[in-house]
């Protein structure tokens, strides 16, 4: 793909300074720019690179004041960061705009597929699956029986979706993620597995990172509500419900039947035990352990077991000084 500075300025509603005909065919960071690349400058810490970058075109804020000549053509916009994000989104849409069904894909005669779907090599769509319009199914994806997938959803290579799963519109599932595998439930008295006959429901606009596992419910459904965003390597156990627009970072595990509220921010390597409730707008810092229900919305929690972050920080001062405190106590006891 190749564009001129003038075309890009038109897309971004920006003002050109320099050569409007300079040609752009790649994207780059400003410090790594080369001829033919477009970059952006938003963070003041990187301003010095505007004078040395080899990029052919740089998007900058309208109010940027130059103190020396620059060789790159500039496009001035209200927000360089927002404008570059818009370009990245457009670039990604073009790059991922795949269509057609590979001869090496398998689609059951009993499955129903919408218009303009893509199915890559060795993708499998099983009996009675229903696939919406503009769905992208990359190579080696497995879609089980009775699965429903909404319009404009993308399943990257190697995703495995067990039977009965329901996935909404505009979702993105990254490589290696498994949806609908059995929940981890056994009877410890006789060591027998308890059958897991529920399903997983994923609502619209959800994105799951690579190598996540979302277990099916024992009965009923494991549910990820609208707008949920997961990083990589996250485990969601049976019958968990994650509320709308909650974000979870890598390595977090949520045990069975926990209920996570809306708009929560859960950092990496957090563990949440089962059968508890986490209130809306809760923030949990990295490597924390949630061992009881969080009732008050909007709390920021830290530690294991986690409690209010301000109390944790005050307490941590004493943790670090514990040896000195013990020494003082021992000396006082000897004096006594």
Contacts made by residues 249-256, CB under 8 angstroms, sequence distance 24+: 249/286, 250/209, 256/183, 256/184, 256/185, 256/215, 256/218
Phi, then psi, of 116 in degrees rounded to 5: 60, 40
Name the active-site residue from 235, 238, 245, 318: 238
Whole-angstrom distance, CA of residue 168 vs CA of residue 28: 34
Torsional sign, CA 109, 115, 120, 123 = negative
Whole-angstrom distance, CA of residue 71 vs CA of residue 117: 44
SS3 191: coil
Strand partners, 119: 101, 137
Residue 216 · residue 239 · CB < 8 Å: no
Residue 245 known to be catalytic: no
Distances (CA, A) of 156 to 105, 122, 227, 286, 317: 14, 13, 19, 28, 46
How long a stretch of residues is the chain?
336
SS3 55: coil
Residue whose pair of structure tokens reads 């979702």 in the numeric block: 171
Whole-angstrom distance, CA of residue 336 vs CA of residue 322: 21
Residue 76 · residue 56 · CB < 8 Å: no
Residue 79 · residue 60 · CB < 8 Å: no
Instruction: List b or e across 11-26, with b for residues whose CB sees 16 or more CB atoms inside 10 angstroms.
Output: ebebebbbeeebebeb
Active site residues per annotation: 238
């Amino acid at each position: 793909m190749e564009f001129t500075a003038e075309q890009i300025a038109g897309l971004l509603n920006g003002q050109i300074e320099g050569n409007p005909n300079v040609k752009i065919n790649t994207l780059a960071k400003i410090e790594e720019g080369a001829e033919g690349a477009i970059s952006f400058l938003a963070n003041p810490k990187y301003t010095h690179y505007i004078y040395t970058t080899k990029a052919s075109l740089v998007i900058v804020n309208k109010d940027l004041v130059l103190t020396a000549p620059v060789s790159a053509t500039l496009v001035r916009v209200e927000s360089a960061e927002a404008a570059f994000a818009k370009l990245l989104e457009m670039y990604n849409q073009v790059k991922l705009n795949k269509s057609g069904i590979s001869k090496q894909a398998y689609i059951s005669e009993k499955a129903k597929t919408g218009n303009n779907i893509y199915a890559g090599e060795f993708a499998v769509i099983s009996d009675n699956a229903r696939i919406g319009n503009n769905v992208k199914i990359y190579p080696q994806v497995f879609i089980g029986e009775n699965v429903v997938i909404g319009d404009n959803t993308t399943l990257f290579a190697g995703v495995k979706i067990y039977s009965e799963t329901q996935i909404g519109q505009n979702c993105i599932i990254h490589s290696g993620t498994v949806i609908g595998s059995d929940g981890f439930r056994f009877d410890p008295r006789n060591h027998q597995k308890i059958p897991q006959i529920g399903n997983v429901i994923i609502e619209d606009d959800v994105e799951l990172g690579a190598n996540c596992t979302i277990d099916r419910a024992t009965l009923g459904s494991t549910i990820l509500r609208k707008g949920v965003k997961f990083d990589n390597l996250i485990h969601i156990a049976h019958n968990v419900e994650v509320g709308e627009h909650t974000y979870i970072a890598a390595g977090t595990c949520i045990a069975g039947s926990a209920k996570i509220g809306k708009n929560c921010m859960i950092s990496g390597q957090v563990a949440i035990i089962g059968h508890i409730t986490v209130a809306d707008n809760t923030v949990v810092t990295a490597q924390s352990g949630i061992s009881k229900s969080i009732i008050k919305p909007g709390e920021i929690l830290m530690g294991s077991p986690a409690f209010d972050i301000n109390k944790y920080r005050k307490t941590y001062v004493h943790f670090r000084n514990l040896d000195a405190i013990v020494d003082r106590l021992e000396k006082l006891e000897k004096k006594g």
